[in-house]
Structure 1
């Protein structure tokens, strides 16, 4: 029995949010905040600039939640949805969008927004809104 793409997205989003829900409170709150803010950033600034924001916030620290979210989005777009070739790896989304064509960029941006919709909902459910 196969799943719809929306079911696959939801399952992936829930798995990733539940991983974060096990972390200490300040990390969970940071993650929830990024899930909440990133869709608006993407709509206003585009996927590339929004991913650059996550990477700049992380400052090469893979333990920061901005990097964690970037890595999750990369894994979904490259390894699961295969919008870009596997050679970019599970955290190479930024390089992929810089080297890829416009069509792939538009598909990736749309897909990230769809995934973030689920991540935001599950973050609200399992982590809670920032500041609450």
Structure 2
């Protein structure tokens, strides 16, 4: 049976969000809501540099980096995401941006629903 990347993305996001509780979950939920808009308004590279540099946002950088490593994403050779972004061709850059936005959507949905369990 072939893997469905949408299902894999959802499973990954669910596992990450399920580990969060209390204040950590509240903070995560608050920040994950703003990240897609940050990427679209400031650009993917600048948004990733921001979350890389801010301790409150660093968990998102870690989750995105782990996702690309697990998926063996084309253009992502297992190195750190910021290095890949800085050196990538435009097609790879756009792919990473689109994939990150798709992952953030799942992370956001699971974070918003975490209290209703």
With structure 2 as the length reference, what TM-score do the two structures score?
0.88
Gaps of 5+ in 2: none
Q: Output the CA distance in 1 between the equivalents of 2:114 and 2:2.
A: 26
Q: Deviations over 1:21-63 (max 9, x none)?
A: 3xxx2222221122111001011111111111112212xxxxx
Among 63, 75, 78, the alignment partner of 2:66 is 75
**Is there any run of 5+ residues in structure 1 with no aligned partner, and where?**
59-63
Residue aligning to 1:31 = 28
Q: 1:55 to 1:73 in 2, by over 3 A?
A: same
**How many residue pairs are counted as aligned between the two chains?**
115
Q: Which runs of 4+ in 1 moved over 6 A?
A: none
Q: Which structure would you say has the larger RCO, counting Cα contacts within 8 Å and 6 or more residues apart?
A: 2
Kindly state the Cα deviation for residue 5 of structure 1 after the two structures are TM-superposed.
Answer: 1.2
RMSD: 1.6
**1:3 alignment partner, SS class:** coil
Aligned ranges 1:45-64 → 2 under 5 Å:
45-58=42-55, 64=56
Q: Is the 8 A contact 1:36 1:120 kept in 2?
A: yes
Distance change (3 Å), C-alpha of 1:47 and 1:127: farther
Residues in 1 aligned to 2:85 and 2:94: alpha-carbon distance in whole angstroms: 10
